Amino acid sequence: MPDKAINIIEEASSLINIDLHYKKNNIDKFKNTNKFSNYVTEKEVIKILSEKTGISAENIVENNYEKFIRIEKDLKKRMIGQDKAVFKILNVVKRNFLGLSNKNKPIGSFLFLGPNGVGKTKICKILSDIIFNKNTDLIYIDMSEFNDKVYSFDVLQYNKNNLEYRFNTCLIKLVEKNPNSLILINEIEKSHIDFFKILLRLLKYGELIDSFGRKINFKNTIIVMNSNIGLDIFQKNYNSSRNISYAKKTVIDMVYHYFNFNLINEIDDIVFFKPLDNISLEKIIYKNINLFKNKLEKKGYLFEITSSVISYIRKLGFNPSYGANNFKKIIEKKIINPISDEIMCKNFNIGHNIFVDIKFNKIEIK
């Protein structure tokens, strides 16, 4: 058996021994128990695996079919306005879960393209949560910080001459500790050419070799490369579906010109994120408002908001350069902060109905 499997069994055996010792020392509490088990069962192994991987016991025992159905349902529910992108990502994940993809490669690898503020980073956090049960705890590498040859090797390999913080944050070390992770490589186009060569090996064989000659397994990771290639083209054509189709063709030509063909060939899919329409933008605003509403209701307050307020926030906060990224700050400034002030001044008491509307082109809270 592999060393790691033996280690798991040893830890599970220790768990049984500790439990047995506790029960024998507290015999009165367990007098109705017929016998004390001293065998390692599936239950103990799953508990140890859950502690080591950070994946819940329920997720470990569910089969791949059940897991994919859950992932598909959660992703479609939580991701707003990007149905085509979601469809492409789910197709890759489905192939892996059914055992129809190359088992020696990562679960999936993607190149994300599109305007800012349309959900490229958001979907990574959601995937990390629903696949690896890690909420927003993904491995994030910003290649603008590693855009020369020396730093490109810093992000991947152990190097005794590097500063300690680089050693602690290098990709190989992070994946060695968290083999079940989503890796988001931001601004991939800023990477040094030598980084692309190593990335090609990662995507092709699902492993990297560190400076000590050890093979680090990436087969249980999802690799997402986020790129700003063609960002200015997307922003210029944000409000036209016809122009966006033209922008996609232009940007894909730029991608093939910029990246090595072999690297593109190893990526499972290039995923375009479309500009968000007004309905999707307002759904995102409602979602943020509802988070605040739930907190208020837990404190004992009632909360109502009109659709005109949602439209007002959309018009006030939308900018093609930022997409939906501004809405959270506007909601905090225009709604959450004033309500917080009123509660602090005891103008709103528990059970009070807080009503938010538009009056004279301004948000009114009463």
So what's the pLDDT on residue 38?
Answer: 64
- State yes or no: pLDDT of 113 exceeds 60: yes
Most confident by average pLDDT, 8-12, 39-43, 53-57, 323-327? 323-327
CA 40 – CA 24 distance, rounded (Å):
18
- State yes or no: pLDDT of 71 exceeds 60: yes
Q: Could you give the domains of the chain?
A: 3-55 (no CATH), 64-272 (3.40.50.300), 278-365 (1.10.8.60)
- Mean pLDDT for all residues in the chain: 81
So what's the pLDDT on residue 322?
Answer: 82
Helix (H, G, I), strand (E, B) or coil at 257: helix
Q: What is the pLDDT of residues 221-250, one digit of tens each?
A: 999 999 999 888 887 776 666 677 788 889
Q: What is the pLDDT of residues 187-202, one digit of tens each?
A: 999 887 878 888 898 9
Average pLDDT over residues 42-59: 64
Q: What percent of the chain has pLDDT over 90?
A: 40
DSSP β-ladder status, 353-359 and 362-365: antiparallel
Produce one character per residue of 265-301: b if its CB has 16 or more CB atoms within 10 Å, e if not: ebbbebbbbbbbeeebbbbbbbebbeebbeebeeeeb
So what's the pLDDT on residue 54?
Answer: 60
- State yes or no: pLDDT of 270 exceeds 70: yes
Bridge partners, residue 113, by sequence: 272
